[in-house]
């Protein structure tokens, strides 16, 4: 009786494995078939398939004799987004961000409190480490002690060193 159960279990596992292999092979063949269709067939596809990326050979032909602006628009078309605005256009681009790397020293709250900077866990107190922040913005610091109420601080983003200490 045990041999029959073992045989059934082995046959069941083998059949599941073979079905997985067959499904993977079918998916591979189907994917390869879609990418190898000629471009005339691809142009007459349904709207669902219209968002496919063009073949690499088509992109290479388009980019071979293209100017930098045309290259950017071809890449944008391949990705499916709008092409970037030209440098001389009248659209206003957002000003570049001024990111600053600064050292943060925290000697506040009970020892071994969780320290979160802008919501991300960076370590435990006492803490000295390097952080990145945007100039002119504030850095939100949360101290979550093992016992007691959490403390929240906001420190302006400064180049160099930022210190946070408890009042003596």
pLDDT bucket at 124, cuts 50 / 70 / 90:
very high
What is the Cα–Cα distance from 36 to 83, expressed in whole angstroms? 27
Provide the sign of the torsion angle of the four alpha carbons 168, 124, 103, 96, taken in this order. Answer: negative
Closest of 102, 98, 137, 103 to residue 118, by C-alpha: 137
**Mean pLDDT, the chain, whole residue set:** 76
Model pLDDT, residue 50 = 47
Query: What's this model's pTM, rounded to 2 decimal places?
Result: 0.44
Contact between 127 and 115 under an 8 Å Cβ cutoff? The reply is yes
pLDDT tens digits for range 51-67: 445 555 665 565 555 55
Exposed / middle / buried, residue 143 (Cβ in 10 Å: 0-12, 13-18, 19+):
buried
């Amino acid at each position: 009786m045990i041999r029959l159960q073992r045989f059934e279990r082995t046959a069941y596992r083998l059949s599941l494995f073979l079905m997985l292999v067959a499904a993977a092979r079918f998916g591979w063949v189907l994917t390869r078939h879609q990418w190898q269709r000629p471009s005339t067939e691809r142009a007459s596809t349904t709207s669902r398939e219209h968002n496919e990326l063009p073949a690499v050979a088509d992109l290479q032909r388009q980019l071979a004799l293209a100017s930098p602006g045309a290259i950017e628009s071809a890449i944008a078309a391949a990705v499916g987004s709008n092409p970037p605005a030209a440098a001389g256009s009248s659209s206003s681009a957002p000003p570049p961000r001024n990111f600053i790397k600064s050292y943060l020293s925290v000697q506040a709250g009970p020892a071994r409190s969780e320290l979160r900077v802008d919501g991300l866990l960076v370590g435990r107190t006492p803490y000295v480490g390097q952080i990145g922040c945007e100039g002119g913005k504030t850095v939100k610091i949360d101290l979550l002690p093992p016992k007691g109420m959490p403390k929240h601080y906001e420190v302006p983003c400064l180049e160099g060193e930022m210190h946070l200490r408890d009042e003596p």
